[in-house]
Structure 1
Amino acid sequence: MTSSLRMKSRLTAATVGVLGAAAIVASVGVTTSAYVDSTYARTDSLSVQAVAPFQPGLARNSRMVDTGIALGNNGNVYVWGLTGLAINGGAGNPGGQRAPQQVPLPGGQIKQIASGIYNANALAADGTVYGWGLYPQRDGTDATKPNDNPRQIRIGTAWTGTGPVLDQILSISSTENAGAGIRADGSIWNWGEPVGYGGNSGPGASKVAGLPDPSVAGHRPVYLKGAYTNFFTILENGDVYYWGGAGSNSLPPGTAQSTNAALVTALSPWMKKNVASGAPYITAVDGGIGMGAATLSNGNVLSWGSNASRTGRGLPTSPAIIPSLSNISSMQFGYTGATFITPDGTLWGYGASDDYGQLPVLPVVVDTNVSQFAAGQGYYLWQRQNGTYWGRGYNPQGAIGLPVGTQTANRQISWDLSFASR
């Protein structure tokens, strides 16, 4: 287990006294026979009238340790495992090893969710964003919330202030301690703390500086993903930007932490405008602690890491193609490992030498006939096409069901998660 995971787990136990790309213009869908992923918009433009699609299912923008989170098919948000620390938004019976509980948000109105370690955000149908959890400065509300109930994020002030409510948001994502969203005009707004984790320096939400003018052709963002301590965004023209990056970040080696958005120059050779006509280019980027990867338009995977056990291919640690992965349509990083899926529902994975799901350092097939998948900080979740849910990894509070205890092999989840089925 990494020192990061150990630190957060100790806080969890001590506090409650119990055991122990994002989609922009298209959503993830499933046919009866295979996994179908249309998450990454490639070069499609965001319309001013566009709204984020309804994204029911396991949260693929989650950085939690002990809590599972999903958006139900009914537009409501549910959490399970550790539901204390205000992560259930003030619902009754908080604690550890809990079955799924509904978070008290506007009924049936939530379209997308994203979460950090102890806080979460929800995007409502009206384009506003709600925040809740243990630390209000991380979810963008920046003030104590009565009964721990979720509140809307405002621009430049806490939710109790007079700043305008953040609206016209199309899609959201999270790092460990911060959140961000793409607005209808193509600007990106962030919140949370500290700035090194992708957040801003003041209360509420503020516009991310350093990105090209979105009113110029090719400069509108079509992808947003929170990695460990930094965000990645991809523009229409294929350029990849980041901000944040404190500590053992998800950035390619030699990429420095940045408060403002900056081009990921180490990935320039694979950006769309720099490749030959018809050659593969980056369509998605994600990462964990000291590791990261990008999927390419031809289904190949480009990876990097702080050491050979974090690249999925061994040396070198600088960006290079993983030879054993192909036809990949989507990926999801935990903190020390990653999972990848092909259109036929084959789930692949690899992990660092300290991965708590004990995925090997070279890619292997984790499961087949998978319809959706997600990852927390130290666990992996997925649903098979027969409707059953499975998981492996760090589990002191029941994020992958009961009994608790780290699971180093695939195990069916005991909780009823049918509300999140696809």
Structure 2
Amino acid sequence: MLILEVLFYSFATVVVIQVLYYTLIFGNFAFLKHSKTTSETPPVSVIICAKNEAENIKNFLPSVLNQDYHNFEVVLINDSSKDDTLEVFEDFKSKYDNIKIVNVKNIEAFWGNKKYALSLGIKAATNNHLLFTDADCKPLSKHWIKEMSSSFTKTNTIVLGYGGYNKIKHSFLNKLIRFETLLTATQYFSYAKIGLPYMGVGRNLAYHRDEFFNVNGFIKHMKVRSGDDDLFINEVATSKNTVIQYKKNSFTVSVAKTNFKDWFKQKRRHVSTAKYYKTKHQLLLGLFYITQVLFWTLGITLLYTTYLWPFALGLVILRFLCQYLSLGFSAKKLNEIDTIFLLPILEITLIIMQFSIFITNKISKPNYWK
């Protein structure tokens, strides 16, 4: 009985921590109302780095080039592609006069390093306001550049946007991918709102070029293959220079993986950068994940043993209520509301997947970006 009593009070503590996360932290984004943006429309350089992305460039680049914005260029970076990416770039350049091509050839010191390629593209950009997306991304509207750039001010030099994934009917994997994306966005938007910005996603991210040169670019983590988006933001973002943009016209959508193996490989690369985050961010993110795991393990154990089950059940309901409200409002903002219907199943699956990635990355490090 003593063991069960310890488990019960431990479970109560875990639930309190989870409730605080979903209300006091994630609620900052979930229940946030749109604020007014500026009317500034600065010249923008859209930067796209591509490696073996010929088909995606053909399909998605027109949606960038046809943006309704008065002054922008598109910097296309060919990162030593083996397919026809460079030829596709050159074909588009012959039709549009606002394209600049940066052709990157591998050198021994930076073999296959996306950050090296991006650095060359940033240096080649004409404008100081930089907007980043990926070759397999499509802006959801013709006002993407306008919405993202309107968040810039003299003090707001970093803009965190939302990059979602395409929806595939009757696909559990697709819902899992989009649920993970929703949860991640809810976290980085919320932390930014409370003055602790810790990451952004390269699918939709903007910052002033001075932020890049003030810290010598990616030099501090150049040897880490991933992290051109989250590690850079973790280094330079502060409560004073970072703003979020979540209007639907500012969204981009990417092609989601269609098999678990490819997605697992992709997430291994993304997760591998977390250990380089600032300590305070690691602690906050780690505590959330640990209490997620403990909520399920302790909750199931207590309900199975029926020890003080009415109280245990009440705690379970309280946590789920806060979770559904927080993620539900966030999902509505980010157009991912259909993922909420399978929330418990998706959460358990994601927890198991994240633990598997942690173990796999301990055994062998991912050393690729494509």
TM-score, length of structure 2 as denominator length:
0.25
Say which structure is richer in helix: 2
Say which structure is richer in strand: 1
Q: Is the radius of gyration larger for structure 1 or structure 2? A: 2
TM-score, length of structure 1 as denominator length:
0.22
